[in-house]
Amino acid sequence: MYKVVLFDLDGTLTDSREGICKSVQYALVKMGRPAPELADLECFIGPPLKTSFREFYNITGEEADRAVTFYRERYSDVGKYENVPYEGIAEMLCALKEAGYILAVASSKPELFVEDILKHFGLYDYFHYVAGSDMEGKRGEKEDVIEEVFRRMKLDEENRKKYAVMVGDRHFDINGAKYFGLDSIGVTYGFCNDGELEEAGATYVVDTVAQLQELLLSKKADV
């Protein structure tokens, strides 16, 4: 049974497809690369940004740093607001908080952007803790961000495994949970590929926000 829920942001709380993909497209054009269709850039949603530029476009080293800088030129002013919470998210967060859950966000996105997005859409006050990477790319991996959440909570290893669960839409979230021995809930309404969450070993997989809310409320620890 759980009393702490860690949420991914992109593809779990909000549909961030437009802002991320358009900002990647902008960065690639600034780098002198062809502009792919937006649908071809959804692979950038979830992983750390530099990792995606390296893996999908073979952009490495200082060139990867330039690509991230160009991405943020657009994303910091426009892209982060080309975004929308999934239907029922605010109601679910309200219900979970009222039930006594401790809620946190653990995102590989820079923490400044995470906070701006949550505040813009009226979701920030539902969370006790919000953690992301920094603008230099530190804490960029999901494991690093989860660890930072636990550090701020002062939650020891025994209670992490006993009471915490990670919710996300990609295998990065599931693998991050497994790294700490946590249960995980995969959500298919985000950006996962078919079978990705099951293959990664998610403890549970749900298809809708309503199913996620029902599952979490049914698993609330009585402490």
Catalytic site positions = 8
CB 182 within 8 A of CB 175: no
| Tokens representing residue 57 in the block | 């476009």
Query: What residues have CB less than 8 Å from 20, skipping those under 6 apart?
Result: 10, 41, 44, 45, 75, 79
Tell me the C-alpha distance between 213 and 71, whole Å.
Answer: 34
Q: Give the pairing type, strands 84-85 and 14-15.
A: antiparallel
